[in-house]
């Protein structure tokens, strides 16, 4: 049997652009001769433009969970996450029917439902092969401030720690930032000293000890800080995403187009 497909889990804070990036990257892969399968893991998704190949809503739907268990939206999301874990092997069986190069997984809108539920780890463990990674999305509305950048960096580190998968940090909607602000944000990812200085400058009464400890933490997470700027709207940065994924999946070698799993 040929090499298994590469699986990418797209996650991040609500509104970071997960669904749009999944769709845009799928189109980019298709244009360049690669096949992909889009998977929706959000039982509460209301996007009318997203037509995934595999949809968790075929098994678990948020409105039905709310009605059956008498729960509000938040409680239903938690219950749905546990129900998905029960159905995950049916999802896996459906995925195995595809012959593809990439599996692109759109995770629930609320990152905490994906990152901090034990059921999510069970889902990822069941669906992931050896060639899997997390794409953590940095929303520019948060990342454009140093404190917001650090908060996202810490959250990304938490996600990587929870799932023990290689993680790529992507700055989404980069077209919304001015060239000057984009350059500054990307520099924070390259130079921890500049980021620490920017955090201090945002505080009217900087805590020296806190800033020092923060700098140490950032330096310890150096491999995580580099950002790949992307734009689903303009289609930019997607080749770099592909290249970065291939470094994780295949030692930087390109796939041969159509090199999805085939029967022996």
Domain count, the chain: 1
Which long-range CB contacts under 8 A does 157-164 form with residues at least 24 apart?
Answer: 157/221, 157/224, 158/115, 159/11, 159/111, 159/114, 159/115, 159/134, 160/134, 160/136, 160/224, 162/115, 162/116, 162/121, 163/9, 163/121, 163/124, 163/134
In a domain, residue 201? The reply is no
Residue range(s) defining the domain that contains residue 28 = 6-180+226-250
pLDDT for 245: 95
In a domain, residue 220? The reply is no
pLDDT for 221: 65
pLDDT for 256: 55
pLDDT for 217: 73
In a domain, residue 204? The reply is no
pLDDT for 209: 64
User: What is the CATH classification number for the domain harbouring 113?
Assistant: 3.40.50.300
**pLDDT profile of the chain (264 residues), mean per 10:** 83 93 97 96 87 95 94 90 92 94 92 85 89 95 90 88 92 96 93 81 67 68 77 96 92 54 34
In a domain, residue 36? The reply is yes
């Amino acid at each position: 049997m040929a090499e298994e497909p590469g699986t990418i889990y797209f996650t991040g804070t609500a509104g970071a652009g997960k669904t749009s990036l999944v769709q845009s990257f799928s189109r980019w892969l298709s244009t360049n001769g690669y096949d992909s399968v889009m998977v929706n893991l959000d039982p509460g998704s209301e996007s009318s433009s997203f037509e995934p190949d595999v949809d968790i809503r075929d098994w678990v739907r948020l409105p039905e969970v709310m009605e059956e268990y008498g729960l509000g939206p938040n409680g239903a999301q938690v219950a749905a996450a546990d129900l998905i874990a029960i159905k995950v092997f049916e999802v896996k069986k459906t995925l195995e029917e595809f012959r593809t190069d990439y599996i692109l997984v759109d995770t629930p809108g609320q990152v905490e439902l994906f990152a901090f539920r034990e059921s999510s780890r069970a889902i990822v463990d069941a669906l992931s092969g050896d060639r899997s990674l997390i794409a953590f999305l940095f929303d520019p509305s948060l990342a454009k401030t140093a404190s917001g950048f650090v908060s996202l960096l810490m959250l990304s580190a938490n996600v990587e720690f929870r799932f023990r998968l290689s993680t790529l940090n992507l700055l989404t909607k980069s077209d919304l930032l001015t060239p000057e602000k984009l350059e500054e944000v990307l520099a924070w990812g390259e130079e921890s000293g500049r980021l620490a200085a920017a955090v201090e400058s945002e505080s009217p009464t900087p805590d020296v000890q806190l800033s020092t400890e923060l700098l140490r933490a950032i330096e310890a997470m150096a491999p995580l800080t580099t950002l790949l700027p992307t734009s689903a709207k303009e289609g930019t940065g997607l080749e770099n995403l592909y290249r970065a994924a291939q470094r994780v999946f295949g030692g930087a070698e390109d796939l041969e187009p159509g090199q999805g799993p085939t029967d022996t």
